[in-house]
Structure 1
């Protein structure tokens, strides 16, 4: 299988395989969404068949729920499980303080709810997701359909006064139609270039009527696993993540 994977996919797989080692029998596990998280779900399914691992998974999207069931993972809702032992998910960007942009796959609302219900949040990604400053990846904002144009205008007005380099707001489309989230909402992608103050932006966005949630995950991640195409993985040293200097240590 690895012979058919691209370099990027090999790196994603390496990070997922390493993170899967953090999962133990009896755990309640938040299962992320996206291509990197899919490698994780498949690996957990392999461990169940090969090692007898027994877990309960809480998916962050309908897509992940389908894959988990295919792998034989018991799927439950957050209402059924309550607090989770661990949540493992991908990211679109991660800065040196482990602040993230997520939502490229359109599941940011469920992802943030599940992540904040977990005792430990592990983020898996390839090296290209590691950035010095957030913002190059468009920031997803989930909004309700009612009053969409008004909400969009208010967002444009809000970011005009914030420390960002770009201010373009686009409605996310799929096959020429507005993208619809698992909650029936829409997504506005904010092309900001650079986010100077992520916390100020997150707070301002969530004050706007019609905004459900934004894709800034601040102070949520505990561990970041970066994969490489040669199979190596790097894990953030949480103690060094405060200053951002040499925060990665290699793990074979």
Structure 2
């Protein structure tokens, strides 16, 4: 296991320790979230009584393999705790997510959660967001229009492909990846993208994350958002 993979695993294990009996838990998507599922599966097998809601079909499949009890989000309005990864996160706990293509459901479940924990390795902590291309989920019929409006922001925009065809999200949408390089004003950028008709979701998580757990050099660093 590489150093970064070990950091992911260590941070994920620490995050799973936050889960208590009776909780409804949101399960993130991606490589770090897979470690969360692994440790959660072990705790469930040892007697932890929880239910969980997945943010993607991929996460749902792995959770079922690990015998983690699942419920559909469609009948829910709130979640006790969500644990997910991040593609980038800054010191203010503002993040870019969605590299795994599940940003719409990740955003909805995060918004419904009483608490959100982001679990990352040390390489994901940045001074300023934007090095990782910002995913934007769009309705297919509006992809060209949205792409042109995003390009008007002065940044490269690319349609995410899979086997030379547009990648389809779990909701049948397309993803545009926007290469900002540096996002100087995340709040204004989020507002500008959200205002474009045809956007289903953008992957700037600016106020949803309450706690960050970073794996670093064989230890974990836990920090909480300052809401004052």
TM over 0.5: yes
Match of 2:14 among 15, 18, 21: 18
Q: 1:14–1:229: 8 Å Cα contact kept in structure 2?
A: no
Does the Cα contact within 8 Å between 1:9 and 1:229 map onto a contact in 2?
no
Structure 1 residue 176: deviation in Å?
2.1
TM-score by length of 1: 0.87
Say whether residues 1:238 and 2:225 are aligned partners. Answer: yes
What is the total number of aligned residue pairs between the two structures? 228
Instruction: Give, in angstroms, the shift of residue 79 of structure 1.
Output: 2.8
Note if 1:95 corresponds to 2:76.
Answer: no
Contact 2:26 2:52 in 1 (8 A): yes
* Offset, 1:237: 4.1
Contact kept? 2:209, 2:225, Cα under 8 Å: no
3-state SS of the aligned residue for 1:132? coil
Q: Alpha-carbon deviation of 1:31? A: 0.2
Which residue of 106, 110, 115 maps to 1:111? 106
- Write out per-residue CA displacement over residues 144-196 of structure 1, whole angstroms, 9 at most, x where no aligned residue: 11032122111111x13xxxxxx110111122221110000000000000001
Structure 1 unaligned residues grouped into runs of 5+? 161-166, 243-252
1:180 and 1:145 map into 2 onto residues whose CA distance is: 9
In the alignment, is the contact (CA less than 8 A) between 2:210 and 2:224 conserved in 1?
no
What is the match of residue 4 of structure 2? 8
Question: How far does residue 204 in structure 1 lie from its aligned partner after superposition?
Answer: 0.8
2:37 aligns with: 41
1:211 to 186, 199, 202: 199
Query: Structure 2 unaligned runs (5+)?
Result: none
Contact 1:122 1:221 in 2 (8 A): yes
User: Which residue number in structure 1 is paired with residue 126 of structure 2?
Assistant: 131
Please tell me whether the aligned partners of residues 8 and 229 of structure 1 are also in contact (alpha carbons under 8 angstroms): no
For residues 106 and 24 of structure 1, the distance between their equivalents in structure 2, rounded to whole angstroms, comes to: 29
Matched, 1:222 2:213: no
| CA distance in 2 between partners of 1:179 and 1:133 (Å) | 28
Q: Larger C-alpha radius of gyration, 1 or 2?
A: 1
Please report the TM-score for the alignment, with normalisation by the length of structure 2.
Answer: 0.96
CA contact (8 A) 1:28 1:81 kept: no
What is the SS of the residue equivalent to 2:9?
Answer: helix
* Corresponding residue to 1:121 among 116, 138, 145: 116
